[in-house]
Amino acid sequence: MSAAAGPVVTRGTPDAAGVARFLGDAMRRHFGEATGSPFWLSVAGELDFDPVRDVVGWRDLERFRPWARRARAAAPRDLLAAAGTDDDEIVAPELPLPRTWLEQVVDWRVARYARGPGRTVGDTLVLLPAGYGFARAVSTARAGRLGSGAVFANRPAEAPRILDRGGVAYVVTTVELLEGLLDQAPPQAPVWGRIRHITLYDAHRWPARARRLREVLPESCEISAILSCPGVLAEFRTGLFGRDGGPLVYEGFDPYVRWELADETGRPAGGPGDTATSSAPGVLAVSHLSDRLFLPWAGQPVRAVPADGGRPGPGGVRRFEIPG
């Protein structure tokens, strides 16, 4: 990602010293006169702390919570830190989403996909409600990365004729819209035998309904879930659903996003170490901190607990789970 002269925000080691260096670089960039975004430069005088001096650990990002709502309401371009001219195209007008950041998110999404001649090639049906601009942008770019294109439907009733034409191998939709689609094209319909993979948004809201969809669709049709946090341009994903009724386990794949589970008031749900053990209503508190963007403390309502006992799981990635 190109950037104007100034501190380059690069994720380092996960120990306290590495975190402090990373956060220091990020604060110097986003609050530097030459590199900072118009929004953060405009509110810098209101802060009752010095971001460069006082933000040395992840929990220090909580100090920005009083300004988080205003940041998400700001004009998208006012949230972008300085960058080279090749990085200024905004993909979705309602979001601070430069094309290079969108491409980076898609790189992370597809990094573990099967490659080579065994991978199914086909179009992606994108069936998403209004207001899912980030999910739509990521899904469209991902379709191109898979070697085909995206076709769009706004309502379940429009989708069967698209599926009947053939050529669609992937579907991106929500739990509710997939249920509606199955009313139009039942699970035993031939079209589902041609679908390789379904990506479900909003499964964290209705995990039992998502599991039922896995039970009724053919085993050959893979299903995984994405939890989208458009307020911080972040996504979390699960592995493939099995039919065992276990929890949905989500992991982040973006090294510039930090999350923790908090209670409904925003306090960390389990104290230091993200050790919450209750799946009572709460929030997934997410912050985005990269060269181009600082978007703190966006809350996504969830009923979740940390997976792996709150410790990093496979590959050192922290995960959380939604009971099935």
pLDDT in tens, 42-76: 999 999 999 999 999 888 988 999 999 899 899 98
List the chain domain ranges.
16-82, 99-259+308-322
The pair phi, psi for residue 288, each rounded to 5°, is -115, 130
**Using one digit for the tens of pLDDT, what is the confidence trace for 237-271?**
999 988 777 889 999 888 788 888 887 665 655 43
Comparing 109 with 78, the larger pLDDT belongs to 78
pLDDT at 111 over 60: yes
Nearest Cα residue to 138 out of 111, 109, 178, 115 = 109
Count of helices and strands (H, E) across the chain: 9, 12
CA distances from 144 to 97, 121, 147, 293 (A): 18, 11, 5, 25
Bridge partners (DSSP) of residue 260 are 285
Distance CA 289, CA 252 (A): 14
pTM: 0.86
pLDDT of residue 187: 94
Closest listed residue to residue 202, CA positions, set 179, 181, 170, 220: 179
Give me the CATH code for the 99-259+308-322 domain, please: 3.40.50.12780
What percent of the chain lies above the pLDDT cut of 70?
85
Least confident of 14-23, 170-179, 188-197, 290-299: 14-23
- Helix H or strand E encompassing 224: strand 222-229
Cite the DSSP H helix spans in 131-206: 133-145, 159-164, 175-184
Measured distance between the N- and C-terminal CA atoms of the chain, rounded to whole angstroms: 39
274 confidence band (pLDDT: 50, 70, 90) = very low
